[in-house]
Chains A and B, each alone.
Chain A
C-alpha cells in the first residue's frame, strides 16, 4: 500500500539512470556520510551518488587489501570501488568524504588512489565554538575542491536554491517518517525500505519524495479514520498491537534481512529510525538566512554520530524519538568492529533501560549470513518478552 510503484530493486535501476546522466555529460560526486554538505554538490550542478556498500561480496573484495578487522561498511565500500563492481563509483568524477571514524579515514587514503577524493577534516567534538568555525572553513575548502575538480563555479544563488530545496525535501521526509507514529503502523518495514530505495536512487528525488509525502498524508488520514491513534509525547493509549521498535546505531541497510525483516517476522513493528537513515538527520534544517557555509556546518554537525566525543545530542534525540513514536523497545545495530558505536552502546543501553524505562537489545553483526540463526534467536526472545 505504501507510496510508490518501485520495482523492488531501485538501487540497480538507479545505475541505469546514472549512466544516462553521465552520457548526457552530467558530473557525479560520490559520498558516504551524513556530514557531507549535499547542497554544495547540488549547487555545483552535479549529481550526488551514495557509495556506502552493503554487500558481503564487497566485504570479500575489500579484505583483499584491507585488514579483516574493520567494519563491513568500510571494507565493502572500498572493495566495491577497487574491484570496479559498483557502477556508482565507476561513474563518480570525484568523492567527497570526511574523517569520521579511523577505519573510514584511513580507507580514504586508498580510495584517493582510484578517484580524486576530497577529504573534509571533521572536528572530533563539539564542546567549543571553534568546532563550528573549523567545520565552516572545511565547507569553504570543499567548495574550492569541487569547483577545481569539476571545473565549475558554485554561485551563492545556486547554493541558496540548493539549501532551500534540500530543506523542503527534509520536511517531506519527516512527513513520510511520521507514518510510523500511527498505532497500529500500517506500513511494513519491507514496504518502507523499498519505498526509501525508490526515493534514494530516483534522480528527480525532490519530486519523488514530495509525491511520497503526499501519499503519506493520505495513509495517515485513512488510518486515523479507521481508528488508528497518532502517538506522541504524553499521548495516552493502550498496549500496542505489535511491539513498536526504534532502530538506532550504525547504518543498517546491509543487515536489513537479518535484523530488520527478522524483527517484523518475529511479530514486532519497526516504526522509527534514529540512525543516519532516519529522523535524526532530517529534523535539523540548514538555516536559509545568513552565511550559507556556516549554516551547512551547523546543520551537519548535529548528526549526533558516535564519532563525536562526547556525543550528548544523541541521548536527547533518542529520547524525543521514543516519545514521539510511542516506542516499546529499542534495538541498536552495531556493525562488527565499529568501535565508536560499540562503546557508546554501553551507555545508550543504560540510558534506554534506566532513563526511558524501555527494553533494549544490542545486536552486533556484519554483512555475512553466518550469524543469521543466532540473530533470529536473540530477536525472537526480545520480541516475545514484549508481547
Chain B
C-alpha cells in the first residue's frame, strides 16, 4: 500500500492557476506553485501542490470558483524514489 505523497491541481489556462493561487492565499491553505510535471499533459505549465489533509477543502474551493473541466486533480505517489501522478 502506497501513501499519497501530495496532491496537485493543474489547470488548462494560466489565468485559472493564478486565480486558484489567490484563493489558496485568501483561505490560508498551505500550497506551492510548481512546474506541471511532464507526465501531466495538456495543461498549462504551472500547477499548485498541496497536502492530503486539505484535499476536501481544496476540491470544494476550486469547484465553486472555477468552471468544470479546466482543472484536474492528481495524486502524487512516491515509489522507490520515483514519483508518478494518477488522475483522480
Contact = CB atoms under 8 A, between A and B. Distances in A.
A85 B12 contact: yes
Interface string B31-52: 0011110100111111000000
Contacts of B13: 83-85
Nearest to A90: B14
A63 to B, nearest CB: 15
B66 to A, nearest CB: 13
Contacts, number: 45
B15 interface: yes
Instruction: State which size class the interface on A falls in.
Output: 10 to 19
B35 A12 contact: yes
A87 B11 CA distance: 11
Contacts of A90: 14-15, 18, 44
B44 A86 contact: yes
Contacts of A57: 41-42
Nearest to A57: B42
A80 B55 CA distance: 30
A15 B15 contact: no
A11 B36 CA distance: 11
A84 B33 CA distance: 17
A89 B13 CA distance: 11
Interface in B37-85: 38, 41-46
A19 B44 contact: no
A84 B41 contact: no
Given A83-B12, A85-B14, A15 B41 contact: no
Contacts of A86: 14, 44-45
Contacts of A87: 14, 17, 44-46
Contacts of B17: 87
B46 A15 contact: yes
Contacts of A127: none
A207 interface: no
Residue from A11, A57, A89, A90 whose CB has the most chain B CB atoms within 10 Å: A90
A291 interface: no
Given A90-B14, A90-B15, A84 B44 contact: yes
B35 A16 contact: yes
Interface string B12-27: 1111011000000000
Contact of B35 (A13, A83, A85, A89): A13
Contacts of B18: 90
Contacts of A91: 14
A382 B43 CA distance: 37
Residue from B14, B36, B44 whose CB has the most chain A CB atoms within 10 Å: B14
B72 to A, nearest CB: 13
A9 interface: yes
Nearest to B16: A84
A91 B44 CA distance: 13
A93 to B, nearest CB: 14
B15 A85 contact: no
Given A90-B14, A90-B15, A85 B44 contact: yes
Interchain residue pairs A-B with the least CB separation, the first 3: A12-B35, A90-B14, A84-B13
Interface of B: 12-15, 17-18, 33-36, 38, 41-46
28 contacts: A11-B45, A12-B36, A13-B35, A15-B35, A15-B45, A15-B46, A16-B34, A16-B46, A57-B41, A57-B42, A83-B12, A83-B13, A84-B12, A84-B44, A85-B43, A85-B44, A85-B45, A86-B45, A87-B14, A87-B17, A87-B44, A87-B45, A87-B46, A89-B14, A90-B14, A90-B15, A90-B18, A90-B44
